[in-house]
Amino acid sequence: MIFGNTDSPLLRQFSGIDPRVFLKLHHEYPWMHHFAMLFPICLYIIVSWAVHGFFGCAPRDFYQALRESHPTVTRMMNIASNYSLLSIYAVYMIIGLRALLARNKWKLQFVLRLIFFVVLFSLLLTQFIKYGLGIPRPYFDWPPKPFFQFVSGYNAFPSGHTIAIITAALPLAFWTGKKNFSVFLSFIVTVVCISRLWLGFHHPVDIAGGILVGSWSARCVFQPRHPPMESEDRDTLL
């Protein structure tokens, strides 16, 4: 029994993670890299605001017309919205499995940070804000239904998909340090955010709110690829 034996290799790997290090915010966060990756979607939201506004019928009707006139693009947006985040999580799962097999504490900690802050931000904080404010989605009537009435369709702000994709994609790009991969993930983030507008699930202001919350969540997940202390056994789980 893996969990019945306190000397099992799996338990030793988890017990080797110091909670103080696990929850530490690393000061060398690459903010320029962060802003560069989010620049395309931020620019898009700014242009959308200038043309259609942040909220209301104008952006809703604009994207409805696009959906109806471009069904193939709509199908692609559905795929991006539903499966992009899962594919990134799959990469984290591979990193985590390799870390377990190699007994690499630092890499395992990176994956566990993602899980912890996804639960904290995407599942807890985001839902608290959504139902606390009760902002209607594009095809639901104003006014809002705040203070945790839990009415279906009144949980638009902020965009949970936006928060989740930024939380997962940016730290992974920083972890790999590969420019081409960062460009690819930036593209994925942009497409997923636009897909939520295209499919009629969110207002532009919801995406803007998701960018803000997702940015802080990504900041919390971030971990350098290598530990700050150079030592012979820094990556080894004892």
Average confidence (pLDDT) over 149-178: 95
pLDDT reported for residue 16: 55
- Contacts with 154 (C-beta within 8 Å, 6 or more apart), sequence order: 131, 134, 135, 136, 137, 140, 144, 145
Q: Does 153 score more than 90 pLDDT?
A: yes
Query: Residue 159: which pLDDT band, with cuts at 50, 70 and 90?
Result: very high
Which three-class secondary structure state does DSSP give residue 140? coil
Identify the band that residue 27 occupies on the pLDDT scale cut at 50, 70 and 90.
confident
Report whether pLDDT(97) > 90.
yes
Rounded distance between C-alpha atoms, residue 60 and residue 191, angstroms:
18
Q: Count helices and strands (H / E) in the chain.
A: 10, 0
Q: Looking at per-residue confidence, does 206 or 13 come out higher? A: 206
The model's confidence at residue 44, banded by pLDDT at 50, 70 and 90, is: very high
Structure tokens at 171: 């730290």
Contact 129, 144 (CB under 8 A): no
Total Cβ atoms within 10 A of residue 112: 17
Contact at 8 Å (CB) between 165 and 84? yes
Average pLDDT of span 166-180: 96
Confidence at 162, pLDDT banded by 50, 70, 90: very high
Please indicate, yes or no, whether the overall pTM of this predicted structure exceeds 0.85.
yes
**What average pLDDT does the chain have?**
88
Mean pLDDT of the 184-211 span: 97
How far apart (Å, rounded) are the C-alpha atoms in residues 223 and 76? 32
Q: Which residues pair with 236 in a beta bridge?
A: 104
